[in-house]
Amino acid sequence: MSFISLLWVLLLGSLLGLELIGKVPPTLHTPLMSGANAISGITMLAALTLIVKAEGNVPLLIIGSVSLGFALFNVVGGFFVTDRMLAMFSRKPSNKK
């Protein structure tokens, strides 16, 4: 990919982000923040690339692995915690304990 087309990708991605959450009810701000936060853990792909391309370079493998761990902590934790919050909204008042 040329740098210029990557810049286009950046621009369009930003516009998409602005457009997507234009009107969000305040109720959903916290879950949305936490969900978007989980998505920012997409750097796990960069960490994976690093590990695959390390070619036996142990320090690089370790850096990649730690980076992957941090990213997945972000991703898995973020999605779980968002799900926990949203589960409360969908719960009907009738099926409480």
Partner 1 sequence: MNLPVIIKFVIDLLAVLLLALGIKGLSKVKSARDANRLAAFAMSLSVVGLLSYYLGTSGIAIQSWIWIIIGSILGSLFGAILAKKVPMTSMPETVALFNGCGGMSSLLVALGVAIFPISGGQENFDFFKSLINEVSISVSIFVGAITFTGSIVAMAKLQGWLSTPGWTQSKVRHFVNIVFAVASLIAFFDLINGNTSSIWLLVIVSSLLGIGVTLPIGGADMPVVISLLNSYSGIAAASAGFVVDSQLLIVAGAMVGAAGLILTQVMCKGMNRSLVSVLFGGSLSAESTASSGSGEYTNITSCSVEECALTLEAANKVIIVPGYGLAVAQAQHTLREVTKKLEQNGIEVVYAIHPVAGRMPGHMNVLLAEADVPYEQLKEMDVVNPDFPATDVVLVLGANDVVNPQAKNDSSSPLYGMPVLDVQEARTVFVIKRGMSAGYSGIKNDLFDLPNTSMVFGDAKKVLNDLIGELKDLGVGEK
Inter-CA distances, 57 with 15, 23, 53, 61, Å: 39, 48, 9, 6
CB of 95 to partner 1, least distance (A): 10
| Binding residues among 5-34 for partner 1 as defined by CB under 8 A | 6, 9-18, 20-34
CB of 38 to partner 1, least distance (A): 7
CB of 11 to partner 1, least distance (A): 8
| Binding residues among 56-85 for partner 1 as defined by CB under 8 A | 56-57, 59-85
- Please work out the total of residues on this chain that contact partner 1, with binding judged by CB under 8 A: 86
What ranges in the chain are assigned the alpha helix state H? Answer: 3-20, 29-39, 44-52, 58-90
Residue with tokens 């390390």: 54
